[in-house]
Amino acid sequence: MGAKNRKNRKIPSRTKRNAKQRNISKHPLLETKVTSRIFGRKQKTGSQVTFTPITGWRLWMFRFTAIIIIPVILFLTLEIALRVVDYGFPTNMFVKCRMNETAFYCNNIKYSWSYFPPNIARMANPFVFPATKSKDTYRIFTLGASAAAGTPKEAFCFGRILKTMLQQQYPQVDFEVITTAMPAINSHVVLDITKDCTQHQGDLFVVYLGNNEVVGPYGAGTVFTPLSSSLSLIRFRIALKATKLGQLLTNILKSVCGENAPEVWRGLEMFLEEQVRADDPRMEVVYRHFQRNLQDIRRLACKGGTPIIFCTVPVNLKDNPPFASLHRPNLTDGEKKSWDKIYRLGMQYEEDGNFSESVKQYLKAAKIDDQYADLEFRLGRCYWAMGEYNTSRERYTQACELDTLRFRADNRINDIIRNTASNQTDEEVYLLDAVKIFEQNSPYNITGQELFYEHVHMNFGGNYILASAIFKQMQDILPNQVKRYNANPDSSDLPTEAECARYLAYTDWDKYKIAEDVLSSYIKHAPFTNQLYHDQKVERMEQRIQILMKAISPEVIKKVESQFLWAIKQNPSDWWLHWNYGEFLEEMGNYAEAGRQFSLVLNYMPNRYEAWAKLGRLSGLQGDINAAVTNNLKALSICPLFPDALFNLGLAYQLQGNFDEAIKKYYKAVRLKPDHIQAYNNLGAVFYQQGKIDKAIQTYRDGLKFVPDDLDMHYNLGLILEAKGHRDEAVKELRTALSIDPNSTKVHRALGAIEKNNN
């Protein structure tokens, strides 16, 4: 630019330049000066407004309000709103109920929904106790899992045997033995149950716990809530699910993300893919959590001034082979070949009865790989046959330790129990070493089928031994005001096993029914079917069942009935006696008297929804369809997710000709229990009656996905396929049915008719 141009250029005055700047500052996008502090105190300086940043304690107060107070207010508001509309389910073990205008506490049937999906949730044995404890009552809570609950027949758990002993020894004292145990739970759940028990004036806690630490909720080999290394995180999740908002969030997540939980409760079979080695790093987490949970259970008891007995947990070593075995991880292919060759040779010697040579081969295999659980069990079996019982016991124990499907308490679990309870008698913490007691009552100190039904569940004799040991331990615990009522102060004799069996009506009928149930519900299913010597075990059990069944003569039936009547006369308020007697009468075909017994159950146990369902079924069998509907609806009002009541209701509607309602109930039953065989069969029959052949066929195919070995579904499907003209498929289904039961007359008849028509 030349000098002339520079000279002629107009330079704005300071006043005009400032005005221009002021105009620019009024631009809407430039009105607020952006600083590193957005919020602050508002100040006015002349014509300008500025914000002074928050600093110091005011800043921390703001942060605290934004991060803590506001979310807490929102949480509480939502929680209160959800409680007002009664959303979700109660999470206390005990819920209030009323009988004859008197307040009681009974078991919360939805308690375990915090730990399991509702469709497969387990629950405690029904119980009820007065909300106001009388002066002459001594209240005992037993805590644990299925073994403590008395599985497979809860009426004969050690808690009920213990109560029988105490009642005979101290007849003027009202002993309440409340069994809070339930299947599939572990110490994470039992800790929360203990918290609830401390609110209900317990005089003694008995803890029999440890078999499910790996496979229960938050375990290393679970199919439920997964393991976390942080115990604090686990407890936070449990606490969150105890809130209504937590339940809402859980349900939202399930609906959005789905759920990987099993559709059907299949017992131990659900865990087949969850093998855990003894040296798996996750086991250290399991042991650490178990120890901490036991310590906190002890602390809760001590804080409330309640004596507590911790029991070690014996298991079946001799007659329960490992459920699964794994080779050591670094085994090479060459080593594996050598191992297999030696192992098979050892098996051959064992089958031939040459146990000493078999042991030599097995020991050679162990030098290559000593981590295979089945190998250790075979060694234990051979040493037993050779009479070397101490060595046999060591090998059986090692087989249990190496079992990669960890359904049994191992040595480390029992050591933690011992350490938790040892040297604590000044705090009224007691150790009962049930492992040693069971060994002393077993041949050559090796626990086996003498005391167990299968792997951990005690038979009546096993439960009696445990109850006896607890009874003896209680003599150091009972207060003087109870001891002064001792009916036999000069005698140390306990009621015998036979006497306890008489008071609890444990009869020859029960021995037969329990043996049949253990075989059909446990031993004939995986993972038992994968065990060594399984065929031999099944054969032995079937022979025993045949002997028991043949012994059930008309005279024995009369004797069983008189045993029930005698026991009920001694203790008419024992609802378990009425329940068991009702089931016995039902099987005998005496539906009217069976119904009366189930009605008596409800007098003492109003939340026993199974009793209402039983009454509904019996009403239907006697032709009173309206009563069948009413009683099953009552069962569902207590437990809406009870598949058997839904099935019974569907059957009642079907008999009334109300097919649409029957279909709805059957569908709901199979949604809740996808292996409900009867519901599939009836649903298919209803569709067939309606002429909906394709739907009937699909119903049976759906059912067979869950229960592929059900004869009736194959049979019904075969008949419907034949009716539709699909003869080849029909023949295939009927032949499958014959493979399940080669002696089925109806299948032979149907198959013969089809083949005759084809010719």
Mean pLDDT of 216-240: 93
What was the pLDDT predicted at 25? 42
Mean pLDDT of 593-613: 96
Beta bridge partners of 50: 43
CB 584 within 8 A of CB 564: yes
In a domain, 317, yes or no: no
Q: Which one, of 336, 334, 364, lies nearest residue 349 by Cα?
A: 364
Same domain membership, residue 132 and residue 68: no
Residue 300 confidence (pLDDT) above 70: yes
719 sits in which H/E element: helix 711-723
Same domain membership, residue 271 and residue 195: yes
In a domain, 367, yes or no: yes
In a domain, 250, yes or no: yes
Residue 6 confidence (pLDDT) above 60: no
Nearest-10 crossing angle of helices 508-518, 534-550: 150
Residue 479 confidence (pLDDT) above 90: yes
Cβ neighbours around 84 below 10 Å, total = 9
Confidence of residue 49 (pLDDT cuts 50, 70, 90): low
Tally of structural domains, the chain: 4
Residue 698 confidence (pLDDT) above 90: yes
The CATH number given to whatever domain includes residue 185 is 3.40.50.1110
Q: What residue type is assigned to position 622 of the chain?
A: Q
pLDDT digits 0-9 by tens, 707-758: 898 999 999 999 999 988 999 999 999 999 999 999 999 999 998 888 777 7
pLDDT digits 0-9 by tens, 568-592: 999 999 999 999 999 999 999 999 9
259/274 Cα distance (integer angstroms): 18
What was the pLDDT predicted at 426? 72
User: End of a domain among 484, 502, 520?
Assistant: 502
Same domain membership, residue 205 and residue 80: no
Same domain membership, residue 202 and residue 124: yes
User: End of a domain among 370, 402, 434?
Assistant: 402
176 Cβ partners below 8 Å, 6+ apart? Answer: 129, 137, 138, 139, 140
In a domain, 4, yes or no: yes
In a domain, 642, yes or no: no
Q: Which one, of 573, 703, 563, lies nearest residue 264 by Cα?
A: 703
Mean pLDDT of 199-221: 97
Confidence of residue 309 (pLDDT cuts 50, 70, 90): very high
Cβ neighbours around 529 below 10 Å, total = 12
Q: Which DSSP category does 67 fall into? A: I
What was the pLDDT predicted at 21? 46
What was the pLDDT predicted at 43? 53
In a domain, 322, yes or no: no
Same domain membership, residue 251 and residue 140: yes
103 in helix, strand or coil?
Answer: strand
Average pLDDT value over all residues in the chain: 90
CA atoms within 13 A on the CB side of 110: 12
Sign of the dihedral defined by the CA atoms of residues 356, 357, 362, 368, in that order: positive
Same domain membership, residue 38 and residue 132: no
Mean pLDDT of 600-617: 95
In a domain, 711, yes or no: yes
Mean pLDDT of 125-145: 95
pLDDT digits 0-9 by tens, 533-548: 999 999 999 999 999 9
User: End of a domain among 86, 102, 137?
Assistant: 86
Q: Which one, of 429, 437, 78, lies nearest residue 240 by Cα?
A: 78
Mean pLDDT of 676-680: 94
Which of residues 524 and 425 earns the better pLDDT score?
524
Q: Percent of the chain scored above 90 by pLDDT?
A: 77
What was the pLDDT predicted at 259? 65
Q: Which one, of 247, 250, 241, 245, lies nearest residue 75 by Cα?
A: 245
Same domain membership, residue 129 and residue 81: no
Mean pLDDT of 437-443: 98
Same domain membership, residue 395 and residue 489: no
Residue 32 confidence (pLDDT) above 50: no
Nearest-10 crossing angle of helices 625-638, 643-656: 150
pLDDT digits 0-9 by tens, 263-281: 778 889 999 999 999 999 9
Same domain membership, residue 337 and residue 232: no
412/649 Cα distance (integer angstroms): 49
Q: Quote the tokens at residue 318.
A: 């001799």
Query: What are the residue ranges of helices labelled H in 243-372?
Result: 244-257, 281-303, 333-351, 355-368
Same domain membership, residue 353 and residue 238: no
544/93 Cα distance (integer angstroms): 39
Mean pLDDT of 388-416: 98
Q: Quote the tokens at residue 113.
A: 């929904």
What was the pLDDT predicted at 22? 46
Residue 165 confidence (pLDDT) above 60: yes
Beta bridge partners of 43: 50
Least confident interval from 182-186, 259-263, 340-344, 401-405: 259-263
405/275 Cα distance (integer angstroms): 5
Same domain membership, residue 142 and residue 212: yes
pLDDT digits 0-9 by tens, 553-562: 999 999 999 9
The CATH number given to whatever domain includes residue 378 is 1.25.40.10
* Domain span at 11: 1-86
CA atoms within 13 A on the CB side of 579: 23
Determine the distance from the C-alpha atom of residue 739 to the mean position of all C-alpha atoms in its chain, rounded to a whole number.
33
In a domain, 472, yes or no: yes
Same domain membership, residue 128 and residue 79: no
Least confident interval from 75-79, 151-155, 278-282, 678-682: 75-79
